[in-house]
Structure 1
Amino acid sequence: MCNACLIENVRKSAFSRRDFFRRSAAAGVAAVAAGAITARPALAQSSGQVVDLTWTLTPEFPTFDGNPGIMFESDKDYAADGYKIWKVTFYEHSGTHIDAPAHFAEGADSVDELAPESLMCPLCVLDITAKAAEEPNAMVEAEDIEAWISTNGDIPEGACVAMNSGWEEKMGSAAYRNDADGNFAFPGFAKSATDMLLEMGVASIGVDTLSLDPGNSADFAVHYSWLPAGRYGIENLKGLGQLPATGATLFVGAPKHEAGTGGPARVLAVV
């Protein structure tokens, strides 16, 4: 399916699901708020090692629609003005960035309305690098969540669950976004997994790819269920392979512009 057709189908579907979004968002916010208290004990376990999970945002950074996500224009210069200022224009969903509930749900929380407690939380890392090496559109499935819990214990309420697919190794090549035929191709979450995480009270999910849904998704099922439930997502993470499966604390430097559907973020993990 062409990019324009996919986006148009998403737009049409958004109108038909608007009432569902409004109902889900209210319930989701309460659940996240209830789970956010688990962030404080997670901080006490930290040894102080900081891992930066954020890519530097440049005009060349790959984006979903293929257009530059950020543009720079010199406003003040050292020679003429004695100091430097850039005028920066960016699209919200560029680089390492947040998807707020309002991205896919009219009337849901915008990025400036995210609960601060949900931006500092336990981090659980699911490794699907082996599966992604075999299948570019590999997904975190419900059975992957179950296997993680069997090995590592329960996922805390209010946590962020992040997918490590090893996709950051493709950064700088066309393969980060597309297959050899020019089709979207990258790993993401399956709805079976995010439905399970919703029931657990998880606050956010993260991916080291362009989208919460896999590249070959035709319906954005995860975006359409996760975000309207009052949760947020983080896309284009890096460095997840440096972290343990459990025990790290996530710090999300979310932007705070009015009515924002998301935005570039500085994301750090402390181990």
Structure 2
Amino acid sequence: MCHACVMDSVQRQLLDRRRLLKAAAGFGLGGAAFAAGIPAPARAQPAATGRVVDLTHTLFPDFPAFDEGPQFALEKKFDLAKDGYNLHIIRVNEHVGTHLDAPLHFSADGISVAEIPVERLVAPLAVLDLRARAAEDPDAQVTPDDVKAWIAEYGELPAGACVALLSGWDSRVAEGTFKNLDAEGRMRFPGFHPEAVAYLLEETEAGGIAVDTLSLDHGLSPDFATHRDWLGAGRWGLECAANLAELPASGATIVVGAPKFQGGTGGPTRAIALI
């Protein structure tokens, strides 16, 4: 099937999905979902250009992580020449590379990565461009004012939206400065301020947040307050995203290919965006 045909088909499906979600909202399903503490299903926007952008870093053994040492490994178990096929055993930290944080990661009774309803993993994207600020200040954080400025320019956040921090930090993976350790060994990188999370929870129906840095919290966070408050409220987070600079501030749709590990607190993820 030709590329144009594929994209036309995807667009028709997304439009049909929007109609269904609108009808569901009319019957009060969105409100019921929020009454249960879960964001209403995302209203995905139809693709406008037909572009698909990979938001995922290639995972390799020395990908920077909070824990020291390799957090990912492929162990060759079967070899094509010897056994007739290739097969690896994968050993991986749940939270390395481009990965999803499930509510269970920072809550005693939150849902696991396998329990996140799949419709929550397709979401309209709101991209907050903090590159200029991050270039001057590695400790820059998304604030309520940043969210309000986006809303003032583009309109209210759609229900279930993913709010993404674009700091330009993704290029540092290849440069070897992703963790950005200072002279005291402290990590210095941007993230979401807890006040921004409080605003999103109280004033919007956002369902996810994403960062192109190592953590939802900024590097100097002493207590992971953003993780605790956001994931504890039943939302999800995407860390170590790539290529956010290729997306418009509004109008793209993120598709989060989260793993489905029983009891998992998260896991390496193939995330893409439709524009």
TM-score > 0.5, shorter chain as reference: yes
What is the TM-score of this pair, normalised by structure 2? 0.84
Q: Which residue in the other structure is 1:23 paired with? A: none
1:233-248 → structure 2 map (5 Å cutoff) = 233-248=237-252
Q: Which residue in the other structure is 2:186 paired with? A: 183
SS of the residue 2:65 aligns to: coil
- When residues 238 and 37 of structure 1 are mapped into structure 2, their CA distance, relative to the original with a 3 A threshold, is closer
CA shift, 1:175, in A, is 2.3
1:136-215 → structure 2 map (5 Å cutoff) = 136-181=138-183, 182-199=185-202, 200-215=204-219
* Aligned partner letter, 2:196: A
* Aligned partner letter, 2:199: M
Structure 1 residue runs of 5 or longer lacking an equivalent are 1-26
* Comparing 223-232 and 166-175, the one that deviates more: 166-175
Residues paired across the two proteins, number: 242
State whether residues 110 and 262 of structure 1, in contact with CA within 8 Å, keep that contact through their aligned partners in structure 2.
yes
* Aligned partner letter, 2:225: A
1:32 to 32, 35, 38: 38
| Cα deviation digits, residues 103-147 of structure 1 (max 9, x gap) | 010121000000111101101100000110111111001111111
1:93-132 → structure 2 map (5 Å cutoff) = 93-132=95-134
Alpha-carbon RMSD across the aligned residues, in angstroms, is 1.7
Mapped to 2, the partners of 1:141 and 1:253 lie a distance apart of: 28
CA shift, 1:30, in A, is 2.9
Identity %: 47
* Aligned partner letter, 1:30: A
SS of the residue 2:262 aligns to: coil
What is the TM-score of this pair, normalised by structure 1? 0.86
- When residues 169 and 178 of structure 1 are mapped into structure 2, their CA distance, relative to the original with a 3 A threshold, is same
Structure 1 position 228 matched with structure 2 position 219: no
| Cα deviation digits, residues 172-225 of structure 1 (max 9, x gap) | 334210333121111000011111111201000000000000000001110110
- When residues 46 and 31 of structure 1 are mapped into structure 2, their CA distance, relative to the original with a 3 A threshold, is farther
Structure 2 residue runs of 5 or longer lacking an equivalent are 1-32
Q: Which residue in the other structure is 2:256 paired with? A: 252
SS of the residue 2:200 aligns to: helix
* Comparing 166-175 and 196-205, the one that deviates more: 166-175
Mapped to 1, the partners of 2:256 and 2:139 lie a distance apart of: 26
CA shift, 1:47, in A, is 3.0
